[in-house]
Amino acid sequence: MKFSTIFAVAGFAALPLGASAATLSGTAAPGGTYDISAAAYDFQAGFDNGDTAGSYEFTFENGSSSILHLVLGSVTVNQLRTVAGFTGGVGVSFGSTTETVEQGQSASFSFSEMLNPGETTSLVFNFGDAYGSSGVGPDLDFIVEGQPAPVPLPAALPLMGVALGGLGLMARRKKANA
């Protein structure tokens, strides 16, 4: 067996990994509960001058029968210093972690958490009154997805070693017979 054949087989074996990439399938709305085992979600909210203070809560649940790694890869608070923002700033809470973004400042966060089957967790934005000028206002957004938890495959290394050893043995016998 040629090394090019081995590399080709290894390449084909890795193809399904690309198919597991999450695609956004829905937009989340405050107050909703979202099953992250089935889809990835995004949320974007723009605010106008005079919008009142409030709180947005999003609940994420693991509806699968296996452990999932919930990834909030991009939680963003966009404020433009004195031009547009939230009076008093914004508090962002995820699980037991809380981040505070001061008035007029912008920030981006990443959060992750392992969720057991049936378990839930929440993302909460607490914000002050919005201020802005001439159509410019602050905004809040995020993207969330659930990924299968990494599971170690302890048998993979010995199996790979046996396979490569077998290939080496076959090549040696073939060379001895020639």
Task: Encode pLDDT of 116-149 as tens digits.
Answer: 889 998 989 999 999 988 778 888 888 877 776 5
Span 22-147 CATH architecture: Sandwich (2.60)
Mean pLDDT value of segment 24-37? 76
Choice among 8-22, 83-97, 109-123 with the minimum mean pLDDT: 8-22
pLDDT reading at 8 higher than 80: no
Mean pLDDT value of segment 45-74? 86
DSSP 8-57: HHHHHHHHHHHHT---EEEE--TT-EEETTT-EEEEEEE--TTPPPEEEE
pTM of the model: 0.66
pLDDT reading at 24 higher than 80: no
Q: Where residue 102 falls among pLDDT bands split at 50, 70, 90?
A: very high
- Work out the end-to-end distance of the chain between its first and last CA atoms, rounded to an integer number of angstroms: 15
Mean pLDDT value of segment 16-21? 42
Distance CA 85, CA 103 (A): 6
3-state helix, strand, coil in the chain (%, to 5): 20, 45, 35
